[in-house]
Amino acid sequence: MSDQISQKESFVVEPSEEGQRLDKVLQQHFSDRSRSFLQQVIKDGCVTVSGKIVKSSHVLGPRQKVVITFPEPEDMKLKPYDFDLDIVFEDKDLMVINKPAGLVVHPGVGKTHADDSLVNAILHHSGKELSGIGGVKRPGIVHRLDKDTSGLIVVAKNDMAHKALADQFKARTVSKTYIALLIGKLEPKKGAIEAPIGRDPANRKRMAVVRETEGKTSLTKYRVMDYLKNYTLVEIALMTGRTHQIRVHFSSIGFPLVGDPMYGREKVNKFFAAEYDLHRVFLHAAKLSFTHPRTQKKEEFECPLPLDLDSVVKQLRVD
């Protein structure tokens, strides 16, 4: 059985899809690919409906046959980065990596970190074992961690694994657990924060808790691990995966993360930098579990706090 997803796919329009735009229905069938990518494929004449080339806005009729021929993935124009990856697990389908703080997951807009991201490091490690989803041969980044967040991240090495993992993230069957240090004494010791998250209307570079009509449903569960002076060490389970979700949610209830430059408290951050040599947000992806795409077995991984965060906890307990 090939590890690559077939370049040609087809389906027959279901009753629930009748009357909908072609591009919208295609995204429902191929959720791992962006709508803009699918619209470009349609524009290039690679999609037919009942044997005819149509536009993205074409309204689908009953029992029409849709055929899409995906273009061959283009070679990636990124340089391999010789970086000593902390690989927790690896087989022919995927890798689980303990990402250090300070390493960005992928190059940003404007070619920032074009040569020194996790993607570049995976290119160096895996060579040609790359995912082709999205129209470009690239390491299969299925989910992300912020630059200064350390911890576990899973990477797909082929299209089969990429699609299967992406489906699990979409269905919210992947379990992700984080450890964070909050400013203040959070009570009760166990609880949940449910509040929609969207772009901050006052600053588009930030996220914020917004009105329901302007954001996406977001749910964060937590349990207190320890109270350390005027701070709270918590274990956090993400039930949704919004940008900056943990940082935004806890800041919104008055308990921002220690070291957070965007949603935290500058005075506290400076204190931790000077007193405990902490120069980043105290956030670590400690546990990750998912169903292996090939074996269908439940895989569970765990990694302890890195030295910089563990040192802070130990010093707070002594002080």
Distance from C-alpha of 264 to C-alpha of 283, rounded to nearest angstrom: 12
> Radius of gyration over alpha carbons of the chain, in Å?
22
Cα(96)–Cα(152) distance, rounded to whole angstroms? Answer: 7
Q: Which positions ≥6 away from 194 have C-beta within 8 Å?
A: 217, 218, 219, 220
Assess whether 159 carries a catalytic annotation: no
Amino acid at 15: P
**CB of 70 within 8 A of CB of 41?**
yes
Residue 213 — left, alpha, or beta (φ > 0 → left; ψ -120 to 50 → alpha)? alpha
Closest CA to 280 of 307, 261, 303: 261
150-156/283-291 β-pairing: parallel
Please report the DSSP string for 208-274 in residue order.
EE--GGGSB--EEEEEEEEEETTEEEEEEEESS--TTHHHHHHHHTT-PBTT-TTTS-HHHHHHHHH
As a whole number of angstroms, the distance between CA 220 and CA 144 comes to 17
Q: Of 146, 148, 159, 308, which is the active-site residue? A: 146
Residues classed as catalytic: 146
